[in-house]
Structure 1
Amino acid sequence: MPIETLALSSVMSPIALSVIATLALVLSDQRGFRPGRYLCKPLAAIAFVWLAVNLGAEDTAYGNWLLAGLIFCMVGDLFLMPDNERSFLAGLTAFLCGHLLFAVAFLQLPLNITGFVVSAVPVACLLLVVWRWLSPHVESAMKVPVIAYIVVISTMLVCAGFTAGHVIAPVAIVGAWGFALSDLAVARGQFVAPESKASGLWGTPLYFASQMLLAASVALA
Protein backbone atom coordinates (compact mmCIF):
# COMPACT_ATOMS: atom_id res chain seq x y z
CA MET A 1 0.00 0.00 0.00
CA PRO A 2 1.46 3.44 -0.94
CA ILE A 3 2.71 5.67 1.89
CA GLU A 4 0.22 8.38 0.85
CA THR A 5 -2.67 5.94 1.26
CA LEU A 6 -1.43 4.89 4.69
CA ALA A 7 -1.09 8.53 5.75
CA LEU A 8 -4.60 9.37 4.54
CA SER A 9 -6.01 6.34 6.34
CA SER A 10 -4.29 7.35 9.59
CA VAL A 11 -6.18 10.66 9.48
CA MET A 12 -9.51 9.61 8.00
CA SER A 13 -10.08 6.64 10.29
CA PRO A 14 -10.15 8.66 13.55
CA ILE A 15 -12.13 11.44 11.83
CA ALA A 16 -14.72 8.93 10.64
CA LEU A 17 -14.93 7.41 14.12
CA SER A 18 -15.35 10.86 15.66
CA VAL A 19 -18.16 11.90 13.30
CA ILE A 20 -20.10 8.64 13.63
CA ALA A 21 -19.65 8.33 17.41
CA THR A 22 -20.51 11.99 18.04
CA LEU A 23 -23.69 11.88 15.97
CA ALA A 24 -24.73 8.62 17.66
CA LEU A 25 -23.97 10.15 21.08
CA VAL A 26 -26.13 13.20 20.39
CA LEU A 27 -28.98 10.98 19.23
CA SER A 28 -28.61 8.71 22.27
CA ASP A 29 -28.62 11.66 24.68
CA GLN A 30 -31.66 13.22 23.06
CA ARG A 31 -33.56 9.95 23.35
CA GLY A 32 -32.26 9.15 26.83
CA PHE A 33 -30.66 5.91 25.59
CA ARG A 34 -28.02 5.28 28.25
CA PRO A 35 -26.30 2.27 26.59
CA GLY A 36 -25.69 4.44 23.52
CA ARG A 37 -24.13 7.12 25.70
CA TYR A 38 -21.84 4.63 27.45
CA LEU A 39 -20.72 3.20 24.11
CA CYS A 40 -20.41 6.30 21.93
CA LYS A 41 -18.85 8.83 24.31
CA PRO A 42 -15.69 6.77 24.94
CA LEU A 43 -15.39 6.07 21.21
CA ALA A 44 -15.66 9.76 20.34
CA ALA A 45 -13.03 10.55 23.00
CA ILE A 46 -10.69 7.82 21.78
CA ALA A 47 -10.90 9.34 18.29
CA PHE A 48 -9.17 12.62 19.21
CA VAL A 49 -6.38 10.85 21.09
CA TRP A 50 -5.98 8.45 18.17
CA LEU A 51 -5.73 11.33 15.69
CA ALA A 52 -3.06 13.12 17.73
CA VAL A 53 -0.96 9.96 18.03
CA ASN A 54 -1.29 9.22 14.30
CA LEU A 55 -0.15 12.76 13.46
CA GLY A 56 3.04 12.41 15.51
CA ALA A 57 2.13 14.06 18.80
CA GLU A 58 5.01 12.29 20.54
CA ASP A 59 7.59 13.88 18.21
CA THR A 60 7.49 17.42 19.66
CA ALA A 61 7.25 19.11 23.05
CA TYR A 62 4.04 20.80 21.92
CA GLY A 63 2.58 17.49 20.81
CA ASN A 64 3.48 15.70 24.03
CA TRP A 65 1.86 18.33 26.25
CA LEU A 66 -1.20 18.50 24.01
CA LEU A 67 -1.53 14.71 23.96
CA ALA A 68 -1.41 14.66 27.77
CA GLY A 69 -4.21 17.25 27.80
CA LEU A 70 -6.28 15.18 25.38
CA ILE A 71 -5.87 12.10 27.54
CA PHE A 72 -7.06 13.99 30.63
CA CYS A 73 -10.05 15.20 28.62
CA MET A 74 -10.81 11.64 27.58
CA VAL A 75 -10.76 10.65 31.26
CA GLY A 76 -13.03 13.62 32.02
CA ASP A 77 -15.48 12.38 29.40
CA LEU A 78 -15.62 9.00 31.11
CA PHE A 79 -16.25 10.59 34.51
CA LEU A 80 -19.09 12.74 33.13
CA MET A 81 -21.07 9.81 31.80
CA PRO A 82 -22.95 9.14 35.06
CA ASP A 83 -25.33 11.86 36.27
CA ASN A 84 -24.19 12.54 39.84
CA GLU A 85 -22.26 15.26 41.65
CA ARG A 86 -19.30 13.07 42.58
CA SER A 87 -18.71 12.08 38.97
CA PHE A 88 -19.20 15.68 37.85
CA LEU A 89 -16.50 16.90 40.28
CA ALA A 90 -14.13 14.17 39.09
CA GLY A 91 -14.79 15.14 35.48
CA LEU A 92 -14.35 18.81 36.30
CA THR A 93 -10.95 18.06 37.83
CA ALA A 94 -9.84 16.01 34.84
CA PHE A 95 -10.89 18.73 32.40
CA LEU A 96 -9.22 21.38 34.54
CA CYS A 97 -5.96 19.43 34.21
CA GLY A 98 -6.60 19.09 30.48
CA HIS A 99 -7.01 22.85 30.07
CA LEU A 100 -3.80 23.50 32.03
CA LEU A 101 -1.87 21.02 29.89
CA PHE A 102 -3.17 22.67 26.72
CA ALA A 103 -1.99 26.02 28.09
CA VAL A 104 1.49 24.58 28.69
CA ALA A 105 1.46 23.13 25.16
CA PHE A 106 0.74 26.55 23.65
CA LEU A 107 3.62 28.02 25.63
CA GLN A 108 6.05 25.61 23.92
CA LEU A 109 5.68 27.67 20.73
CA PRO A 110 7.23 31.10 20.01
CA LEU A 111 5.30 33.66 22.09
CA ASN A 112 3.54 36.55 20.36
CA ILE A 113 2.91 39.33 22.89
CA THR A 114 0.51 41.14 20.55
CA GLY A 115 -1.60 38.01 20.30
CA PHE A 116 -1.65 37.79 24.08
CA VAL A 117 -2.80 41.40 24.48
CA VAL A 118 -5.48 41.09 21.80
CA SER A 119 -6.86 37.88 23.28
CA ALA A 120 -6.86 39.16 26.88
CA VAL A 121 -9.83 41.52 26.34
CA PRO A 122 -12.36 39.00 24.94
CA VAL A 123 -11.18 36.42 27.48
CA ALA A 124 -11.78 38.84 30.37
CA CYS A 125 -15.23 39.65 29.00
CA LEU A 126 -16.07 35.96 28.68
CA LEU A 127 -14.94 35.31 32.25
CA LEU A 128 -17.12 38.08 33.69
CA VAL A 129 -20.20 37.31 31.58
CA VAL A 130 -20.07 33.58 32.30
CA TRP A 131 -19.70 34.10 36.04
CA ARG A 132 -22.59 36.58 36.18
CA TRP A 133 -24.71 34.09 34.26
CA LEU A 134 -23.76 31.05 36.33
CA SER A 135 -23.32 32.37 39.87
CA PRO A 136 -27.04 32.59 40.77
CA HIS A 137 -27.42 28.90 39.87
CA VAL A 138 -24.30 27.47 41.53
CA GLU A 139 -24.67 26.27 45.11
CA SER A 140 -22.16 27.45 47.69
CA ALA A 141 -20.21 24.18 47.84
CA MET A 142 -19.56 24.32 44.09
CA LYS A 143 -18.62 27.99 43.74
CA VAL A 144 -14.88 27.57 44.38
CA PRO A 145 -14.44 24.63 41.93
CA VAL A 146 -16.46 26.46 39.27
CA ILE A 147 -14.51 29.71 39.71
CA ALA A 148 -11.22 27.77 39.53
CA TYR A 149 -12.39 26.07 36.35
CA ILE A 150 -13.41 29.36 34.71
CA VAL A 151 -10.03 30.90 35.59
CA VAL A 152 -8.16 27.91 34.14
CA ILE A 153 -10.21 28.05 30.93
CA SER A 154 -9.41 31.76 30.64
CA THR A 155 -5.72 31.01 31.15
CA MET A 156 -5.81 28.44 28.35
CA LEU A 157 -7.48 30.90 25.98
CA VAL A 158 -4.92 33.62 26.71
CA CYS A 159 -2.10 31.13 26.18
CA ALA A 160 -3.68 30.15 22.86
CA GLY A 161 -3.48 33.84 21.93
CA PHE A 162 0.29 33.65 22.38
CA THR A 163 0.45 31.42 19.27
CA ALA A 164 -0.66 34.27 16.98
CA GLY A 165 1.57 34.51 13.93
CA HIS A 166 2.54 30.83 14.09
CA VAL A 167 1.18 28.50 11.40
CA ILE A 168 -0.60 26.59 14.16
CA ALA A 169 -2.51 29.66 15.41
CA PRO A 170 -5.78 29.40 13.44
CA VAL A 171 -6.30 25.75 14.39
CA ALA A 172 -5.13 26.15 17.99
CA ILE A 173 -7.12 29.31 18.73
CA VAL A 174 -10.34 28.08 17.10
CA GLY A 175 -9.98 24.71 18.85
CA ALA A 176 -9.33 26.33 22.24
CA TRP A 177 -12.28 28.74 21.95
CA GLY A 178 -14.57 25.98 20.68
CA PHE A 179 -13.60 23.83 23.66
CA ALA A 180 -14.25 26.71 26.06
CA LEU A 181 -17.62 27.58 24.53
CA SER A 182 -18.71 23.94 24.57
CA ASP A 183 -18.21 24.04 28.34
CA LEU A 184 -21.08 26.53 28.48
CA ALA A 185 -23.39 23.74 27.31
CA VAL A 186 -22.13 21.51 30.13
CA ALA A 187 -22.58 24.32 32.65
CA ARG A 188 -26.10 25.02 31.43
CA GLY A 189 -27.02 21.36 31.68
CA GLN A 190 -25.49 20.98 35.13
CA PHE A 191 -26.55 24.22 36.83
CA VAL A 192 -28.99 26.33 34.80
CA ALA A 193 -31.39 23.96 33.03
CA PRO A 194 -30.67 20.37 34.15
CA GLU A 195 -33.94 19.08 32.70
CA SER A 196 -33.25 20.44 29.22
CA LYS A 197 -31.49 18.40 26.53
CA ALA A 198 -31.12 21.31 24.11
CA SER A 199 -27.54 22.14 25.11
CA GLY A 200 -26.30 18.76 23.92
CA LEU A 201 -27.48 19.45 20.39
CA TRP A 202 -24.75 22.04 19.91
CA GLY A 203 -22.42 21.56 22.89
CA THR A 204 -21.51 17.93 22.19
CA PRO A 205 -20.63 18.36 18.48
CA LEU A 206 -18.74 21.58 19.23
CA TYR A 207 -16.73 19.90 21.97
CA PHE A 208 -15.62 16.90 19.94
CA ALA A 209 -14.96 18.98 16.81
CA SER A 210 -12.80 21.32 18.88
CA GLN A 211 -10.85 18.43 20.38
CA MET A 212 -10.26 17.03 16.92
CA LEU A 213 -8.97 20.43 15.78
CA LEU A 214 -6.59 20.60 18.72
CA ALA A 215 -5.44 17.06 18.01
CA ALA A 216 -4.86 17.96 14.36
CA SER A 217 -2.74 20.96 15.37
CA VAL A 218 0.15 18.68 16.34
CA ALA A 219 0.83 18.16 12.64
CA LEU A 220 1.71 21.89 12.36
CA ALA A 221 3.99 22.18 15.42
Structure 2
Amino acid sequence: MIKMATNLGLLAISLTMLLFAEKKISDKQTPDTKVLQLISGLSKLMASLLFVYFFWANTAASNLFSISLSSSSSFGTLILLGLAFSFAGDLLLLPRGNSRFFLAGIGAFALAHIAYGFAFLKLLVEPDVILISTLLTLPAAAITYHWLSPHLTGRFRVLVSIYLGLISLMVIIGTAAGVSSNNYWIASGAIIFAVSDIYVARNRFVSAGFVNRLIGLPLYYSAQIMIAYGALIVIHGQVNLSSG
Protein backbone atom coordinates (compact mmCIF):
# COMPACT_ATOMS: atom_id res chain seq x y z
CA MET A 1 0.00 0.00 0.00
CA ILE A 2 1.24 3.47 -0.88
CA LYS A 3 2.16 5.09 2.42
CA MET A 4 -0.30 7.63 3.77
CA ALA A 5 2.61 9.89 4.77
CA THR A 6 3.82 10.13 1.17
CA ASN A 7 0.39 11.04 -0.11
CA LEU A 8 -0.20 13.56 2.67
CA GLY A 9 3.17 15.17 2.02
CA LEU A 10 2.43 15.68 -1.68
CA LEU A 11 -1.08 16.85 -0.85
CA ALA A 12 0.28 19.36 1.68
CA ILE A 13 2.65 20.81 -0.92
CA SER A 14 -0.11 21.13 -3.51
CA LEU A 15 -2.52 22.65 -1.01
CA THR A 16 0.08 25.15 0.23
CA MET A 17 0.75 26.30 -3.34
CA LEU A 18 -3.00 26.54 -3.97
CA LEU A 19 -3.67 28.64 -0.87
CA PHE A 20 -0.63 30.85 -1.55
CA ALA A 21 -1.88 31.60 -5.07
CA GLU A 22 -5.45 32.19 -3.86
CA LYS A 23 -4.25 34.61 -1.18
CA LYS A 24 -2.25 36.62 -3.71
CA ILE A 25 -5.21 36.70 -6.08
CA SER A 26 -7.55 37.87 -3.32
CA ASP A 27 -5.12 40.61 -2.26
CA LYS A 28 -5.20 42.06 -5.79
CA GLN A 29 -1.77 43.53 -5.22
CA THR A 30 0.01 41.88 -8.13
CA PRO A 31 -0.25 42.28 -11.92
CA ASP A 32 0.49 38.56 -12.45
CA THR A 33 -3.10 37.43 -11.92
CA LYS A 34 -3.12 35.05 -14.89
CA VAL A 35 0.06 33.36 -13.68
CA LEU A 36 -1.37 33.02 -10.19
CA GLN A 37 -4.63 31.61 -11.55
CA LEU A 38 -2.60 29.06 -13.52
CA ILE A 39 -0.66 28.09 -10.38
CA SER A 40 -3.92 27.87 -8.44
CA GLY A 41 -5.59 25.71 -11.07
CA LEU A 42 -2.67 23.32 -11.50
CA SER A 43 -2.19 23.00 -7.74
CA LYS A 44 -5.87 22.26 -7.24
CA LEU A 45 -5.92 19.61 -9.95
CA MET A 46 -2.77 18.02 -8.55
CA ALA A 47 -4.26 17.87 -5.06
CA SER A 48 -7.49 16.38 -6.43
CA LEU A 49 -5.66 13.82 -8.54
CA LEU A 50 -3.78 12.71 -5.44
CA PHE A 51 -6.86 11.46 -3.58
CA VAL A 52 -8.09 9.63 -6.69
CA TYR A 53 -4.68 8.09 -7.34
CA PHE A 54 -4.20 7.17 -3.68
CA PHE A 55 -7.35 5.07 -3.70
CA TRP A 56 -6.84 3.63 -7.18
CA ALA A 57 -3.24 2.61 -6.57
CA ASN A 58 -4.10 0.85 -3.32
CA THR A 59 -6.93 -1.25 -4.70
CA ALA A 60 -6.95 -4.15 -7.10
CA ALA A 61 -7.43 -1.73 -9.98
CA SER A 62 -7.72 -4.40 -12.63
CA ASN A 63 -10.66 -5.99 -10.80
CA LEU A 64 -12.35 -2.81 -9.62
CA PHE A 65 -14.72 -2.60 -12.55
CA SER A 66 -15.23 -6.32 -12.95
CA ILE A 67 -18.68 -7.60 -13.86
CA SER A 68 -18.81 -9.31 -10.48
CA LEU A 69 -21.57 -7.98 -8.25
CA SER A 70 -19.83 -8.95 -5.03
CA SER A 71 -20.11 -6.43 -2.21
CA SER A 72 -16.39 -5.68 -2.10
CA SER A 73 -16.17 -5.06 -5.86
CA SER A 74 -19.22 -2.78 -6.06
CA PHE A 75 -18.21 -0.93 -2.88
CA GLY A 76 -14.81 -0.08 -4.34
CA THR A 77 -16.32 0.96 -7.64
CA LEU A 78 -18.78 3.32 -5.95
CA ILE A 79 -16.06 4.90 -3.83
CA LEU A 80 -13.88 5.43 -6.90
CA LEU A 81 -16.85 6.98 -8.70
CA GLY A 82 -17.35 9.35 -5.75
CA LEU A 83 -13.72 10.38 -5.89
CA ALA A 84 -13.83 10.76 -9.68
CA PHE A 85 -16.99 12.88 -9.58
CA SER A 86 -15.33 15.04 -6.91
CA PHE A 87 -12.33 15.50 -9.19
CA ALA A 88 -14.69 16.46 -12.02
CA GLY A 89 -16.37 18.97 -9.72
CA ASP A 90 -13.02 20.54 -8.87
CA LEU A 91 -12.21 20.77 -12.57
CA LEU A 92 -15.54 22.40 -13.42
CA LEU A 93 -15.23 24.96 -10.62
CA LEU A 94 -11.90 26.25 -11.95
CA PRO A 95 -13.44 28.94 -14.23
CA ARG A 96 -14.13 31.96 -12.04
CA GLY A 97 -17.45 33.76 -12.15
CA ASN A 98 -19.03 31.36 -14.64
CA SER A 99 -22.51 30.29 -13.51
CA ARG A 100 -22.79 27.43 -15.98
CA PHE A 101 -19.55 25.83 -14.86
CA PHE A 102 -20.53 26.43 -11.24
CA LEU A 103 -23.82 24.58 -11.74
CA ALA A 104 -22.06 21.76 -13.59
CA GLY A 105 -19.50 21.52 -10.79
CA ILE A 106 -22.17 21.35 -8.12
CA GLY A 107 -23.91 18.68 -10.20
CA ALA A 108 -20.71 16.64 -10.22
CA PHE A 109 -20.40 16.94 -6.45
CA ALA A 110 -24.04 15.91 -6.08
CA LEU A 111 -23.22 12.74 -8.04
CA ALA A 112 -20.23 12.21 -5.75
CA HIS A 113 -22.50 12.34 -2.70
CA ILE A 114 -24.88 9.87 -4.33
CA ALA A 115 -22.05 7.46 -5.14
CA TYR A 116 -20.67 7.71 -1.60
CA GLY A 117 -24.12 7.22 -0.12
CA PHE A 118 -24.73 3.99 -2.05
CA ALA A 119 -21.24 2.78 -1.12
CA PHE A 120 -21.81 3.44 2.58
CA LEU A 121 -25.09 1.53 2.42
CA LYS A 122 -22.99 -1.58 1.81
CA LEU A 123 -21.51 -1.28 5.29
CA LEU A 124 -23.30 -2.72 8.28
CA VAL A 125 -25.62 -0.07 9.77
CA GLU A 126 -27.21 -0.32 13.19
CA PRO A 127 -30.80 1.09 13.27
CA ASP A 128 -30.32 3.05 16.50
CA VAL A 129 -27.13 4.66 15.16
CA ILE A 130 -28.78 5.77 11.93
CA LEU A 131 -31.66 7.23 13.96
CA ILE A 132 -29.25 9.29 16.06
CA SER A 133 -27.37 10.35 12.93
CA THR A 134 -30.63 11.47 11.31
CA LEU A 135 -31.73 13.44 14.40
CA LEU A 136 -28.39 15.28 14.44
CA THR A 137 -28.02 15.87 10.70
CA LEU A 138 -31.47 17.11 9.67
CA PRO A 139 -31.56 20.07 12.10
CA ALA A 140 -28.07 21.07 10.95
CA ALA A 141 -29.25 20.96 7.32
CA ALA A 142 -32.35 23.01 8.16
CA ILE A 143 -30.24 25.65 9.94
CA THR A 144 -27.87 25.80 6.98
CA TYR A 145 -30.71 26.33 4.51
CA HIS A 146 -32.29 28.98 6.75
CA TRP A 147 -28.92 30.80 6.81
CA LEU A 148 -28.50 30.60 3.02
CA SER A 149 -32.11 31.23 2.04
CA PRO A 150 -32.05 35.07 2.12
CA HIS A 151 -29.11 34.99 -0.31
CA LEU A 152 -30.66 32.57 -2.81
CA THR A 153 -32.59 33.68 -5.86
CA GLY A 154 -34.34 31.96 -8.74
CA ARG A 155 -33.37 28.40 -9.50
CA PHE A 156 -30.75 28.35 -6.76
CA ARG A 157 -33.48 28.07 -4.12
CA VAL A 158 -34.53 24.71 -5.53
CA LEU A 159 -31.06 23.51 -6.51
CA VAL A 160 -29.50 24.30 -3.14
CA SER A 161 -32.34 22.57 -1.28
CA ILE A 162 -31.88 19.45 -3.45
CA TYR A 163 -28.13 19.53 -2.93
CA LEU A 164 -28.56 19.92 0.83
CA GLY A 165 -30.89 16.93 0.82
CA LEU A 166 -28.36 14.77 -1.03
CA ILE A 167 -25.42 15.70 1.16
CA SER A 168 -27.55 15.23 4.29
CA LEU A 169 -28.40 11.69 3.21
CA MET A 170 -24.72 11.01 2.53
CA VAL A 171 -23.78 12.30 5.98
CA ILE A 172 -26.54 10.31 7.70
CA ILE A 173 -25.58 7.07 5.99
CA GLY A 174 -21.82 7.67 6.17
CA THR A 175 -21.83 8.59 9.83
CA ALA A 176 -24.12 5.72 10.81
CA ALA A 177 -22.20 3.18 8.72
CA GLY A 178 -18.83 4.40 9.98
CA VAL A 179 -19.83 4.37 13.63
CA SER A 180 -21.62 1.01 13.33
CA SER A 181 -18.53 -0.62 11.81
CA ASN A 182 -15.98 1.29 13.92
CA ASN A 183 -14.65 2.94 10.76
CA TYR A 184 -14.32 6.48 12.02
CA TRP A 185 -12.35 7.53 8.94
CA ILE A 186 -15.51 7.23 6.85
CA ALA A 187 -17.74 8.79 9.50
CA SER A 188 -15.41 11.76 9.96
CA GLY A 189 -14.84 12.15 6.22
CA ALA A 190 -18.56 12.33 5.50
CA ILE A 191 -19.11 15.03 8.12
CA ILE A 192 -16.06 17.09 7.15
CA PHE A 193 -17.02 16.91 3.47
CA ALA A 194 -20.37 18.49 4.35
CA VAL A 195 -18.72 21.21 6.44
CA SER A 196 -16.35 22.07 3.59
CA ASP A 197 -19.37 22.53 1.31
CA ILE A 198 -20.68 25.20 3.67
CA TYR A 199 -17.65 27.33 2.83
CA VAL A 200 -18.25 26.83 -0.90
CA ALA A 201 -21.82 28.04 -0.39
CA ARG A 202 -20.66 30.94 1.80
CA ASN A 203 -18.20 32.07 -0.84
CA ARG A 204 -20.76 31.81 -3.66
CA PHE A 205 -23.89 33.15 -1.98
CA VAL A 206 -23.07 34.98 1.26
CA SER A 207 -19.62 36.56 1.47
CA ALA A 208 -16.84 35.86 -1.00
CA GLY A 209 -13.30 35.96 0.35
CA PHE A 210 -10.06 34.11 0.88
CA VAL A 211 -11.12 32.92 4.33
CA ASN A 212 -13.59 30.52 2.70
CA ARG A 213 -10.76 28.85 0.79
CA LEU A 214 -8.39 29.00 3.75
CA ILE A 215 -10.81 26.95 5.84
CA GLY A 216 -12.82 25.10 3.22
CA LEU A 217 -10.05 23.67 1.04
CA PRO A 218 -8.06 21.93 3.82
CA LEU A 219 -11.34 20.50 5.14
CA TYR A 220 -12.36 19.28 1.70
CA TYR A 221 -9.09 17.49 0.92
CA SER A 222 -8.93 16.04 4.43
CA ALA A 223 -12.44 14.64 3.94
CA GLN A 224 -11.59 13.00 0.63
CA ILE A 225 -8.46 11.37 2.04
CA MET A 226 -10.39 10.16 5.10
CA ILE A 227 -13.10 8.60 2.94
CA ALA A 228 -10.53 6.99 0.63
CA TYR A 229 -8.49 5.62 3.53
CA GLY A 230 -11.57 4.38 5.35
CA ALA A 231 -12.73 2.65 2.18
CA LEU A 232 -9.33 0.98 1.80
CA ILE A 233 -9.70 -0.43 5.30
CA VAL A 234 -13.02 -1.93 4.21
CA ILE A 235 -11.65 -3.32 0.96
CA HIS A 236 -8.66 -4.92 2.67
CA GLY A 237 -11.02 -6.87 4.88
CA GLN A 238 -10.76 -5.12 8.23
CA VAL A 239 -14.46 -4.13 8.12
CA ASN A 240 -17.31 -6.43 7.12
CA LEU A 241 -19.66 -5.53 4.29
CA SER A 242 -23.35 -6.21 4.45
CA SER A 243 -24.69 -9.08 2.39
CA GLY A 244 -27.32 -6.87 0.78
TM-score (norm 2): 0.83
In structure 2, the residue matched to 1:210 is 223
Q: CA RMSD in A?
A: 1.4
| Equivalent residue runs for 1:85-96 within 5 Å | 85-96=99-110
Contact 1:119 1:161 in 2 (8 A): yes
Q: Does 1:74 align with 2:77?
A: no
The amino acid of 2:22's aligned partner reads: D
Q: 2:182 aligns with which of 151, 167, 172?
A: 167
Q: Specify whether residues 199 and 120 from structure 1 end up closer, same or farther in structure 2 by C-alpha distance, changes over 3 A only.
A: same
Deviation at 1:110, TM superposition (A): 1.4
Q: How far apart in 2 are the matches of 1:42 and 1:76? A: 10
Deviation at 1:122, TM superposition (A): 1.5
Aligned residues: 212
Q: 1:21 aligns with which of 8, 14, 17?
A: 14
Deviation at 1:181, TM superposition (A): 0.2
The amino acid of 1:26's aligned partner reads: L
What percent of counterpart residues are identical? Answer: 29
Gaps of 5+ in 1: 1-6
Contact 2:192 2:219 in 1 (8 A): yes
Higher relative contact order (CA 8 A, sep 6+): 1
Q: 1:30 aligns with which of 4, 23, 26?
A: 23
Q: 2:46 aligns with which of 18, 43, 48?
A: 43
Structure with the larger helix share: 1
Deviation at 1:104, TM superposition (A): 0.4
Q: How far apart in 2 are the matches of 1:155 and 1:212? A: 20
Q: How far apart in 1 are the matches of 2:73 and 2:40? A: 34
Q: How far apart in 1 are the matches of 2:185 and 2:147? A: 28
Q: What whole-Å deviation, never above 9, does each CA across 1:4-48 have from its counterpart, x for those lacking one?
A: xxx3x4544332221111121111111112111111010010011
Q: How far apart in 2 are the matches of 1:193 and 1:129? A: 17
Q: How far apart in 2 are the matches of 1:200 and 1:218? A: 26
SS of the aligned residue for 1:35 comes to helix
Contact 1:135 1:143 in 2 (8 A): yes
Deviation at 1:111, TM superposition (A): 2.0
In structure 2, the residue matched to 1:4 is none
Bigger Cα Rg: 2
Structure 1 residue ranges (4+ consecutive) displaced by more than 4 angstroms after TM superposition: none
Contact 2:176 2:187 in 1 (8 A): no
Gaps of 5+ in 2: 26-35, 65-71, 235-244
In structure 1, the residue matched to 2:146 is 132
Contact 1:11 1:54 in 2 (8 A): no
TM-score (norm 1): 0.91
The amino acid of 1:157's aligned partner reads: V
Q: How far apart in 2 are the matches of 1:120 and 1:18? A: 32
Q: Does 1:220 align with 2:233?
A: yes
Q: How far apart in 1 are the matches of 2:152 and 2:138? A: 20
Q: How far apart in 2 are the matches of 1:10 and 1:62? A: 22
Q: How far apart in 2 are the matches of 1:166 and 1:203? A: 28
101-110 vs 59-68, greater mean Cα deviation: 59-68
Q: How far apart in 1 are the matches of 2:77 and 2:7? A: 19
The amino acid of 1:214's aligned partner reads: I
